[in-house]
Chains A and B, each alone.
Chain A
Amino acid sequence: MKLTEMGITEKKENKEQETLSKSSEKSTIKKVISNSFLHMAIKKAIFYFVVFFIAISIAFLIPRLVSVNPLEYIYVRPPGTDPEAWQEHIKDLEEYLGLNYPLHVQYANFLKSFFFEFDLGQSMTRSFEPVVNIVLKALPYTLMLVVPVLVLGFFIGNGIGARTGYTQSKKDKVFYYIFLVLQVAPFFWMGYVLLDIFVLQLNWFPWGQSVPLWAWDWAAISTIFDHFWLPFVVLLITNIGGWATGAHALMVYEKAEDYISYGRKLGFRDNTLRKYAYRNSMLPQFTGLNLYFNGLIGATLITEIIFRFPGLGYTMIRAFQALDYALILGTFIVTILVVVIGNYIIDMSYGILDPRIRVGGKGEA
């Protein structure tokens, strides 16, 4: 066993050496790193594609496994019409939407139209408007909530948490307890509390009115932002709490490391040492970014529903209330797409930030 294993590894090493010797123009180390980076990028891309494929397959199957004909739900026969004629009308509609085929044909059609034409079908309740148009209108609203909350929450939360964890003074302890409470405060409940105070009691913000489409126009933008502040603040507050408590705990460990006490004995300033500790303690937080991102997407969907902010979540719940299956599926697929692309970007940026991951992507080389 051992001999054969050793033989295999030797062969591998030989191959690597050959490839290394071929690339003689640039410095070999740089070449290896870029190769392994590319390797990781492709590997991750394939993985996320598989995830996406499985997710949309499940999302396709679930509504069809439920034995309800959506068309009969939506198009209730008006009184005084001929029942047979109405049945024919519904059958025509089924043919038009491609719902009369067996399941596997429907699935193949769905995949074909999605991957080659980016067509998600037509909304049954919004006068057969293509779902893609509706979803693309809703997507900017969701992104304008998710991206600033993700970036601002990460930096503000970690900054504050690292500070409270490093100094551990009494003033900072008060801050820490505030964030501990904020971290466990359910965001949906906070949303309703803020809504009650600022909309219903103080009447500072509009709520439940139609939000205009994105346009480079002062009136439209100011109306959008009037609707935007409350959900943004709710999401930001709850996210800052989570990051801050995590960074606090990490910083407490980091402060006990030897290099900090050595640096202090050498006479470094406290601020400088804190920066070093901050940088080292950030890496584990970065690995948690994926899970946080998934949670944040879900929180954003629910917050949109609460504040009637017309993003993906609100579109989804409206589609649900109208039983518009194509629209539910469409919003869901775009949500998955956002999650998958976001995760991919986070993974890749982590690979850029931490060189160890890049080399690790090649297998234990």
Chain B
Amino acid sequence: MTKEIPYQEELGKKVGIKEIIKEKYHAAMDRYKRQFILMLVFFIVVLIIVILTLIPPFNDPEKRYWVTPDVLLDNYADPSLKHLLGTDQFGRDHLTRLFHAVRNSLAFGLITGLICTGIAVFLGVIGPFKGGAVDATASFITNIALVFPQYAFIILISTILQIREWWITMLVIALFSWPWAARSIRSQVLTLKERNFIKVSKMSALKNMRIAFTEVLPNVLPYILLAFIIFLGGAIITEAGIAMIGLGQQNWLTLGLMLNQAVEYGWIFPSFSYWLWLPPGICLMLIVLTFFIIQSSLSKTFEQRKV
């Protein structure tokens, strides 16, 4: 009985939502200051890149530069003050193309990540709440998709379909990378289902699906966010891999397409044109590293909260 007294006192205290948010914010700021700074820097850099792709010197990735007007193409130029990262095989400024590629890659990852998360959340939440045959099929599909070799299927489909459209690459990547998240969300939902507030909402005769989407989903939201960030990084890197060996989409200028063109044009013929393949690879690494650090620090927080 003595243990309940502080609990009672805490109940009596007036705790507004603003104070809770303030407290949580300060606690998070204390522990994850470096990660916050990293995220902030990342978003600012991305924002600057997106703005730069819209204003004149950088807005046209297809513009060709000539040494003498319309006669001698300024291709494979070394990095200089005029072209900070040199030019490629058609005399196009490489820095401009890099900005566009970073923007497009991020957009690609964002959309693919959203599709993946949608599938994972749908299969992960609907199973435990519908129960019975729906649950059985949902978990069966998840278990089977978990052992499907992702890359082999992506190579098969993109070789056979012979269509180099962005939405096909996107769908193919999205269709084969959701299963692990569906499984972990499902296990989270299963544990949440046994909690008291769910039982109460069941007793108050709410419909199952409404409970799933208004009561359970907000509580699984951190895990969904985590899955989304992992999907984002994974989609960017998978697309780059597929595109680099020449099987990816051809209408968005992404980092993978840039690497592919660097391999096909600027790699053997002019000796050691490092500016063609080094900057896109480093950009790719930096993007994925940022997402990885954010993801791992997020997962650390959740682990600690569980304990």
- Which of A's residues lie within 8 Å of B, judged by CB? 47-48, 50-51, 54-55, 58-59, 62-63, 66, 68, 180-181, 183-189, 192-193, 196, 200-201, 245, 249, 253, 290-291, 294-295, 297-299, 301-302, 305-306, 313, 316-317, 320, 325, 328, 332, 335-336, 339-340, 343
Closest A-chain residue to B238, C-beta based? A298
Contact status B150-A298, CB under 8 Å: yes
With A62-B156, A189-B259, A328-B156 in contact, do A299 and B292 touch (Cβ < 8 Å)?
no
The interface stretch among B22-30, B55-63, B280-288 is: B280-288
Closest A-chain residue to B281, C-beta based? A189
The interface stretch among B65-73, B95-103, B239-247 is: B239-247
Q: Given the complex, which residues of B lie within 8 Å of A332, measured CB to CB?
A: 152, 156
Q: Given the complex, which residues of B lie within 8 Å of A51, measured CB to CB?
A: 144, 147-148
CA distance A332 to B303 in the complex (A): 39
Instruction: Report if B296 contacts A (CB, 8 A).
Output: yes
- Per-residue contact bits, chain B 251-276, to A (CB 8 Å; 1 contact, 0 not): 00000000100010001100010000
What are 9 A-B pairs at a CB distance below 8 A? Answer: A186-B241, A186-B288, A192-B244, A193-B281, A291-B180, A302-B151, A302-B245, A335-B152, A336-B152
Q: Given the complex, which residues of B lie within 8 Å of A193, measured CB to CB?
A: 277, 281
- Per-residue contact bits, chain B 157-177, to A (CB 8 Å; 1 contact, 0 not): 101111000000000000000
CA distance A62 to B288 in the complex (A): 32
The 9 A-B residue pairs with the shortest CB-CB distance, nearest first, are A298-B151, A320-B159, A189-B281, A184-B288, A339-B149, A184-B289, A335-B152, A188-B241, A294-B149
Report whether over half of chain B's contact residues are helix, strand or loop; otherwise say mixed. helix
Contact status A47-B285, CB under 8 Å: no
Instruction: Report if B155 contacts A (CB, 8 A).
Output: yes
CA distance A100 to B88 in the complex (A): 48
Contact status A186-B240, CB under 8 Å: yes
Contact status B149-A335, CB under 8 Å: yes
Q: Given the complex, which residues of B lie within 8 Å of A183, measured CB to CB?
A: 292
Contact status A301-B151, CB under 8 Å: yes
Chain A CB within 10 Å, residue with most, of B180, B244, B288: B244
Closest A-chain residue to B151, C-beta based? A298
CB-contacts of B48-97 with A (<8 A): none
Q: Which of A54, A301, A320 contacts B144 (CB 8 A)?
A: A54
Contact status B147-A316, CB under 8 Å: no
Chain A CB within 10 Å, residue with most, of B150, B151, B161, B292: B151
CA distance A294 to B151 in the complex (A): 8
With A188-B241, A188-B244, A301-B155 in contact, do A336 and B149 touch (Cβ < 8 Å)?
yes
Shortest beta-carbon distance from A45 to chain B in Å = 13
Instruction: Report if B227 contacts A (CB, 8 A).
Output: no
5 extra interface residue pairs, beta carbon distance < 8 Å, beyond A66-B160, A317-B155: A51-B148, A186-B241, A188-B241, A189-B285, A328-B160
Closest B-chain residue to A190, C-beta based? B281
Contact status A201-B272, CB under 8 Å: yes
Contact status A184-B292, CB under 8 Å: yes
Contact status A200-B288, CB under 8 Å: no
